Amino acid sequence: MVTILMDQEIRNLIALETKRQNNGIELIASENYASQEVRMACGSILTNKYAEGYPNARYYGGCEYVDQIEKIAIERVCKLFNVKYANVQPHSGSQANAAAYRALLPNGGKILSLVLNDGGHLTHGSPVSFSSHLYQFVHYPLGRDGKLDYNKILEIAKLEKPDLILAGYSAYPYAIDFKKFKEICNEVSCLFMVDMAHIAGLIAAKLHENPCDYADIVTSTTHKTLRGPRGGIILTNNENIIKKVNSAIFPYYQGGPLEHIIAGKAICFKEASTKQFQTYANNVIINTKTCKDELESLKIKVSGTDNHLFLLNTLDSYNLTGLEAQKKLENVGITTNKNMLPNDTLTPKETSGLRIGFAAITTRGCNQNDAKIIAKLIDGVLSNKLAENYVKNEVSNLTKKWLKIEEI
């Protein structure tokens, strides 16, 4: 008989985190709640198997079952996004982007991406990221209305002559015209890449234009609106590109794949292909817009939304930095994250606003009426109109009627 010894210290912290998730309102746009089945796969004995290489071409024996799992994951994600080829091994979206760059460009290749403070990602050319050290980044800004200015992007592309144009963002609350981006790329004869990490679930549910129809390569995480395990994927319709992608992931950037996470990805791809998921994704958009509209009716400065998030200007609305607003909300059980706004005058450590998203709490059962209440609570906290104990009680009332994390 095997005695299972529990690490009580870690077990206690997991219990506290479970309580925090159940008792709080999660409005971080990049977070979600994976299903029991996804979590089961991620915590399964598949974590024991080392499987460097790819299905039917491993550097280890004993891979017959993980080969089948990985093949299923590839087949499912290709069907979900209507592509021919996929790599499901990236451990994260950042590593997926790194491999995509390497597959498409030589070191020093020029990439045109969004100004980082306007909603880009660290791997889209930040000076603290590998991306800016290995590649030459130039940037296009958002228009004065906070939206993509395709004419300006074309103008900059003609001037800079990039090797690749990158679309897809971490804090952009509007729809992206991927067809228009492809036309710009064709006009300046460059490659087109999309990082769809934030909106992958909306694309899977056919609520946003599919970049796979236009881009040379598409990367994504699997844990945001797609509601799967933490990890990355790379998609393409080009056979030569997928060969380069596979080499870039293994052996260049990664060693053995996480087959337990790949199993979780396979499950989430199946879940995302259902009518229930389409309903969920549509509700995410409805709830997000409802909260934003309610705040706007209270004369709060917000921007968006065509997708799962919107931006709240805390500096202009409440004379609070994003960091100050984040802390005030967290103190009453509402979790958000500070975020730079277009043309922000503050630093990334402070910011002038918050990024607010409804992907996570919609999974738990948040509805439109709840979204209106949440808007009033946010305003009440940040304006000091509502007492802290009152808000905590309202947060408790909302979260008690939603699904618990263990039930999802």
Residues taking part in catalysis: 50, 52, 195, 221, 224, 230
Residue type (1 letter), 110? K
Which tokens sit at 340? Answer: 């730079």
Rounded distance between C-alpha atoms, residue 186 and residue 60, angstroms: 43
167: Cα within 13 Å, side-chain hemisphere? 29
CB 105 within 8 A of CB 135: yes
285: left (phi over 0), alpha (psi -120 to 50) or beta: alpha
Rounded distance between C-alpha atoms, residue 26 and residue 358, angstroms: 8
CB 224 within 8 A of CB 359: yes
C-alpha distances out from residue 48 to 149, 251, 259, 293, Å: 49, 20, 9, 48
CB 389 within 8 A of CB 397: no
- Helix ranges (DSSP H) in 352-387: 359-364, 368-382
Which tokens sit at 377? Answer: 């609570």
- Helix ranges (DSSP H) in 64-199: 64-81, 93-104, 130-134, 150-160, 178-188
8: Cα within 13 Å, side-chain hemisphere? 0
Q: Pick from 107, 88, 108: which is nearest to 242 by CA?
A: 88
Q: Roughly how many angstroms between the first and final C-alpha of the chain, as a whole number?
A: 33
Task: Sort 248 into a burial class: Cβ within 10 Å, 0-12 / 13-18 / 19+.
Answer: buried
Let me know how long the chain is: 408
Rounded distance between C-alpha atoms, residue 135 and residue 129, angstroms: 11
406: left (phi over 0), alpha (psi -120 to 50) or beta: alpha
Q: Pick from 70, 210, 50: which is nearest to 220 by CA?
A: 210
Distance of CA 121 to the CA centre of its chain: 10
CB 277 within 8 A of CB 268: no
